[in-house]
Structure 1
Amino acid sequence: MSIKKKYFYIPVILFLSLFFLTCSKSDNRLVLFVAASLYAPFQEINNELGGKLAIDYGGSQALVNKVILGAEPDVLVTAGYDPIRRIKEFDESLVYSEYDFLENSVVLVSKKEAKFQSLDQICLGDFTIGIADPDIAPLGKYTMAIMKKFIQCDLSLIRKNLKISQDAMSLKTSLQYGHIDFAFVYRSDLYDLSTLGYKLVFKDDQLFQPIVKYPIVLLNEPNKKLEDDLNELLMFNKSKKAKAIFLKNGFSVID
């Protein structure tokens, strides 16, 4: 049995998102689809640019679904390259250009003071483990790849202990309510979560590699009206100020 979590409201959300994003094109703002895990730094960047960006946040796979259904953002930033490959498989002409942009990694966090030797030990315990939905968010997919390395973390054994959130952003919201014992999150979420008492379970998280790369993708050749805004965004993302914003939020900028 698949661990897919069906969201009966997804069609409604997709429709409303497409509707509002179509409307946003008319106000001549640059439209970005951005992975939910990048919410904090991109909100700050948008403020630095005077709020001239129209940004839709969500799970990377969900954002790609919108593009495939006909949404036309100018820029797409996803967690990992798998979502971009999906677009290319659907219609390679949709991707105008792409660049390596940011790096992140996956870590395990908890408020528990007890010391744990391995992930197997946690999976054997009666603990609630929070993950992002692997069918919608790359974070969930990376988490599944990690758990498959541990015999005691087989889904058939721990399914009842899993708490599945729609994407990285909604998983962070669940953690704020404190109903999850452990959660797989992006390293970039550590700063916010540490203020709530969460900390790394394993100090040496090399076990949870590889590094997650975030590409920035231009989906349309920019028209003349938006070209200046796009160039300003791309140039700002290379600036010392932008690098400081991303670093503060746990991301490494790829030069």
Structure 2
Amino acid sequence: MSIKKKYFYIPVIMFLALFFLTCSKSDNRLVLFVAASLYAPFQEINNELGGKLAIDYGGSQALVNKVILGAEPDVLVTAGYDPIRRIKEFDESLIYREYDFLENSVVLVSKKEDKFEGLDQICLGDFTIGIADPDIAPLGKYTMEIMKKFVQCDLSLIRKNLKISQNAMSLKTSLQYGHIDFAFVYRSDLYNLSTLGYKLVFKNDQLFQPIIKYPIVLLNEPDQKLEDDLNELLMFNKSKKAKAIFLKNGFSVID
């Protein structure tokens, strides 16, 4: 990207971040920035709470960029702790409180019936491999860490076969069109993708990536008007009903 284009995009991004902030705060709802991989369970939770939440979904790094640029959500939920560390490095005072919340993992899925001995064999083949963008989505970062463990999956060898999506949510959308042979997704996505014919390529997927923790972070001390809604959200997330929602979508709640 040229320097001219780069400087053009900076004010645009700042405007969009602050525009969202203004619109969300004006209706006096609790504002959440939530990792794209949590779209399905949080939509269901918001319905259970009567639509009290104003939720912006996106890649965790992209959401953190908005916070650093001045957006002020009440709650932030990211995939992994790296995005939260970025906020702390920028300004630790932005973090009011944080909790361990959910667990997830990365798996490889495909519609192919063939049996594969390992990831190297797939990388050597003429297959398209879908990944999330490692620069803005933790799923992409975790995927890169996995691929670096396999000699034949070096980016210089397979770059032409990669199909890069913006985040976990847009990668799932790409899979719906069926133009990708393999894709690295969160285990939590497997439930919905299985209805499209996708399944695990390797049963022992835990060899790829350890458990990924999703923290829930309070970025502001809530005012009196929002405190009740915040407490209701936090209490509901520990309820049996919420745990069932997350479990159905492939997540486990950390007690």
**Shorter-chain-normalised TM-score: which range?**
over 0.9
Whether the 8 Å contact between 1:104 and 1:186 is mirrored in structure 2 is yes
After the TM superposition, which of the residue ranges 104-113 and 205-214 deviates more from structure 2? 205-214
1:112 paired residue number: 112
Query: How has the CA–CA distance of structure 1 residues 83 and 175 changed in structure 2, closer, same or farther, with 3 Å as cutoff?
Result: same
Q: What whole-Å deviation, never above 9, does each CA across 1:98-131 have from its counterpart, x for those lacking one? A: 0000000000000000000000000000000000
Query: How has the CA–CA distance of structure 1 residues 242 and 79 changed in structure 2, closer, same or farther, with 3 Å as cutoff?
Result: same
TM-score with structure 1 length normalisation? 0.95
Query: How has the CA–CA distance of structure 1 residues 15 and 103 changed in structure 2, closer, same or farther, with 3 Å as cutoff?
Result: same
TM-score with structure 2 length normalisation? 0.95
Q: What whole-Å deviation, never above 9, does each CA across 1:129-181 have from its counterpart, x for those lacking one? A: 00000000000000000000000000000000000000000000000000100
The Cα of 1:26 is off from its aligned counterpart by 1.5
The Cα of 1:11 is off from its aligned counterpart by 6.3
The Cα of 1:6 is off from its aligned counterpart by 9.6
The Cα of 1:9 is off from its aligned counterpart by 7.1
Query: How has the CA–CA distance of structure 1 residues 87 and 253 changed in structure 2, closer, same or farther, with 3 Å as cutoff?
Result: same
Aligned residues: CA RMSD: 2.7
Whether the 8 Å contact between 1:129 and 1:180 is mirrored in structure 2 is yes
Q: Secondary structure at the match of 1:13?
A: helix
Q: Secondary structure at the match of 1:117?
A: coil
The Cα of 1:209 is off from its aligned counterpart by 2.1
Identity over aligned residues, as a percent? 94
Aligned residues: 255
The Cα of 1:24 is off from its aligned counterpart by 1.4
Q: Secondary structure at the match of 1:241?
A: helix
Q: Secondary structure at the match of 1:8?
A: helix
Q: Secondary structure at the match of 1:122?
A: helix
Q: What whole-Å deviation, never above 9, does each CA across 1:192-220 have from its counterpart, x for those lacking one? A: 10000000000111211210100000000
After the TM superposition, which of the residue ranges 3-12 and 15-24 deviates more from structure 2? 3-12
Whether the 8 Å contact between 2:109 and 2:200 is mirrored in structure 1 is yes
Whether the 8 Å contact between 1:76 and 1:219 is mirrored in structure 2 is yes
Unaligned runs of 5+ in 2: none
Q: What is the alpha-carbon distance in structure 1 between the residues aligned to residue 142 and residue 240 of structure 2?
A: 30
Unaligned runs of 5+ in 1: none
Whether the 8 Å contact between 1:127 and 1:182 is mirrored in structure 2 is yes
Whether the 8 Å contact between 2:17 and 2:70 is mirrored in structure 1 is no
Whether the 8 Å contact between 1:4 and 1:135 is mirrored in structure 2 is no
2:47 paired residue number: 47
Q: Secondary structure at the match of 2:4?
A: coil
After the TM superposition, which of the residue ranges 90-99 and 2-11 deviates more from structure 2? 2-11
Query: How has the CA–CA distance of structure 1 residues 202 and 71 changed in structure 2, closer, same or farther, with 3 Å as cutoff?
Result: same
Whether the 8 Å contact between 1:4 and 1:133 is mirrored in structure 2 is no
Q: What is the alpha-carbon distance in structure 2 between the residues aligned to residue 79 and residue 8 of structure 1?
A: 29
Q: What whole-Å deviation, never above 9, does each CA across 1:66-123 have from its counterpart, x for those lacking one? A: 0000000000000000000000000000000000000000000000000000000000
Query: How has the CA–CA distance of structure 1 residues 19 and 5 changed in structure 2, closer, same or farther, with 3 Å as cutoff?
Result: closer
Q: What is the alpha-carbon distance in structure 1 between the residues aligned to residue 211 and residue 4 of structure 2?
A: 25
The Cα of 1:12 is off from its aligned counterpart by 4.1
